[in-house]
Homo-oligomer: A and B are copies of this chain.
Amino acid sequence: MRNRLLASLPAEDYALIAPHLTAVELERGRLLYDPGDPIETIYFPQDGVISLMTLMENGAAIESATIGREGALGLMAAVSPRQSLSRIIVQTPVKATRIGAGAMHEAWDKSAAIKDLVDKHTEALFGHAIQSVACNALHPVEARFCRWLLTCHDRISNDTVALTQEFLADMLGVQRTTVTAVARSLQEKGAIRYRRGVVDIIDRPALEALACECYGAINRTYERLLPPEH
């Protein structure tokens, strides 16, 4: 059980949802929800990254938050029925545990521990979002690129991230040519190595030094609000 939310639940509370949990694998690029879609399924990632992307009228979609094993997708639907606010896609291959929103709501209704978990997770995700608001306005692309890689690296179990520069340009809300330039610069600095569709993280400390403070700030918010590991 790598998902931190599920792992933190006391056995009796976990037992409320266990019968309804199903393990799934989600392939990269899969569209889970579009804005307005009712959230019928909640996903607890065990490994991999899911992106929340704000969709603009012209079709541009930019990442507003990510979800990995520290959280869950659609968890707010445990409280009451929801429509998705964003386009939600699978960014790296994801192993997850899923549960229907209805079943989760019933468990939420019975368990104070689950209520608390939903509450804290909502707060942490909000903190993630408002930090990103500031980051996108104030920080140069290279720092945001590094933050993005680190966040991704934390949520997967190896040093290789499969993604195209084009995709990454969308995530960051910049031109692809800008991503190309930044990627080359980072490779020259020895922080990453990349080839067609793949980025290898070579020197994580270097990335951390180049990333903006938002990386640490978001992590601290999660650490403060979520149950400790183990």
Q: How many copies are assembled? A: 2
Residues of B close to A122: CB separation below 8 A: 76, 122, 126
**Is A60 part of the binding interface, using a Cβ–Cβ cutoff of 8 Å?**
yes
What is the chain B residue whose CB lies nearest that of A85? B127
**Is A173 part of the binding interface, using a Cβ–Cβ cutoff of 8 Å?**
yes
Residues of B close to A79: CB separation below 8 A: 119
Residues of B close to A173: CB separation below 8 A: 134, 137-138
Flag if A85 contacts B221 (CB, 8 Å). Answer: yes
List residues of A (119-140) whose CB comes within 8 Å of B's CBs.
Answer: 119, 122-123, 125-127, 129-134, 136-138
Flag if B213 contacts A116 (CB, 8 Å). Answer: no
Flag if A130 contacts B56 (CB, 8 Å). Answer: no
State A116–B82 Cα separation when bound (angstroms): 12
Residues of B close to A56: CB separation below 8 A: 134, 138, 213
Residues of B close to A125: CB separation below 8 A: 126
* Interface size of A as a range: 35 or more
> A9 to chain B: closest CB distance in Å?
17
**Is A52 part of the binding interface, using a Cβ–Cβ cutoff of 8 Å?**
yes
State A112–B61 Cα separation when bound (angstroms): 36
State A137–B138 Cα separation when bound (angstroms): 9
**Is A80 part of the binding interface, using a Cβ–Cβ cutoff of 8 Å?**
yes
Residues of B close to A165: CB separation below 8 A: none
**Is A62 part of the binding interface, using a Cβ–Cβ cutoff of 8 Å?**
yes
Flag if A52 contacts B123 (CB, 8 Å). Answer: no
State A137–B137 Cα separation when bound (angstroms): 6
> A91 to chain B: closest CB distance in Å?
16
> A209 to chain B: closest CB distance in Å?
14
11 contacts between A and B (CB under 8 A): A54-B134, A60-B138, A62-B137, A63-B133, A76-B122, A82-B123, A85-B126, A132-B133, A134-B136, A136-B137, A137-B137
- What residues make up the interface of A, taking CB atoms closer than 8 Å to B? 52, 54, 56-57, 60, 62-65, 76, 79-80, 82-83, 85-86, 116, 119, 122-123, 125-127, 129-134, 136-138, 172-174, 213, 221, 224
- Apart from A76-B123, A80-B116, A122-B126: 6 A-B pairs, beta carbons within 8 A: A54-B131, A56-B138, A85-B126, A85-B130, A129-B133, A137-B137
